[in-house]
Structure 1
């Protein structure tokens, strides 16, 4: 059994998780457009498949260290629901988690661009339509509900396949292809490729994600009113979250 992780170890895990997740999303998107330049559906299939596998593996590797949040809305939700419990995330921990998740996500885009020889720069892909915001709201609400359902029913060990499966499905059943993660959204603004999003579209996506998180938390509170210890979000039980498309 692992010793409880110190804050620096947890922050490193969150940085690496966000970075490698965005690297997988952006890198597979670049590869997909290279291999299947005239087939958008196949590009999305290739991109989503790589993301699902990468997410599941990252949760398995880093979940026992930090809880594998990789996502500011998950971190804030974990802090808020467990703030009165011993051993839970503190406000300072929460701010630090969000900071390293965001920096990690940006680094992931830069790394993917470098691996594939793509020019560094901001995306020009506009994603500002209201139907995409609705897609992000639905995607994030479902993600938060899934995570809290796992934590509050003692099934955290299923996080890797369950969260990865949800993200893989949400790639296809949401109009936005399920970013569902403010840090990942910001990170993807730093690549002008298949997976990019223009900086001007980021605020709308993040607002929709926050609304979705509140909906997901509210549903979880009604459906699963007796949570287990908030420590499940930290070191022992790998219950994460990220998302992308």
Structure 2
């Protein structure tokens, strides 16, 4: 458990999510400005996002756990590492921080601070991709904490870098980031009306990830005997 009080933890979550979104949106704007090649622009969006995750998780993880993601916070609540009140506060801080991050990115590029996206991202394949992205993120975090806690910032950064390219949705994997990206009509945007499908898929993928990893990471010493009578 963090040794920091709740106000500091909430500021860490808001700050981390703001800087994450500012990086996602800002690098997307920069990439779109520098090239008309979509593949190159996506690469220019991917690398800064993976890099900033390594930085943010390293510096803010000791304070709040560095969730920056309502789906991740829900997973830790289901693991009983956060109370219902804590997770509600975390999610509020993450959503507000994410919207602030969009405003920061827009301010740096002299764009309207908030601008509803018109970029369509919808359909079964996109939703399935988001479920896969969130599943993989949760699996990476939980296994990383179990086996190599110090490597978690790198594991998450590398996973998201890869997931940008192997998922059809470019791996939002984060309801707060999805909401924030609905306020930018730029390379990384998503139409507000497409949010419900993305958010539902992200939460479902995260919960499935928790369920599988809870079983997979339980060692034989922790598992109940297959035949309890044999222990008598």
TM-score using structure 1 length: 0.86
Mapped pair 1:205 → 2:204: no
Aligned to 2:140: 146
Instruction: Output the aligned Cα RMSD.
Output: 1.1
SS in 1 for 2:12: helix
SS in 1 for 2:201: helix
Mapped pair 1:25 → 2:28: no
Structure with the greater alpha carbon radius of gyration: 2
SS in 2 for 1:97: helix
Shift, 1:104, TM fit = 0.4
SS in 1 for 2:131: helix
Aligned to 2:8: 9
Question: Structure 1, residues 79-106: CA drift from partner, whole Å, max 9, x if none?
Answer: 111x2xxxx3221111000000000001
Shift, 1:129, TM fit = 1.7
Shift, 1:135, TM fit = 0.7
Mapped pair 1:195 → 2:169: no
Aligned to 2:216: 223
Equivalent in 171, 177, 181 of residue 184 of structure 1 = 177
Aligned to 1:239: none
Equivalent in 47, 50, 53 of residue 49 of structure 1 = 47
Mapped pair 1:137 → 2:131: yes
Shift, 1:225, TM fit = 2.2
Aligned to 1:76: 74
Query: RCO higher in 1 or 2 (8 Å CA, sep ≥ 6)?
Result: 1
Structure 1: state its 5+ residue gaps.
227-245
Q: Which runs of 4+ in 1 moved over 2 A?
A: none
**C-alpha separation between the residues in 2 aligned to 1:131 and 1:80?**
27
**Number of equivalent positions:** 217
Aligned to 1:236: none
Of residues 127-136 and 160-169 in structure 1, the stretch that sits farther from structure 2 once superposed is 127-136
**C-alpha separation between the residues in 2 aligned to 1:89 and 1:200?**
31
**C-alpha separation between the residues in 2 aligned to 1:73 and 1:214?**
8
Aligned to 1:34: 33
**C-alpha separation between the residues in 2 aligned to 1:91 and 1:5?**
18
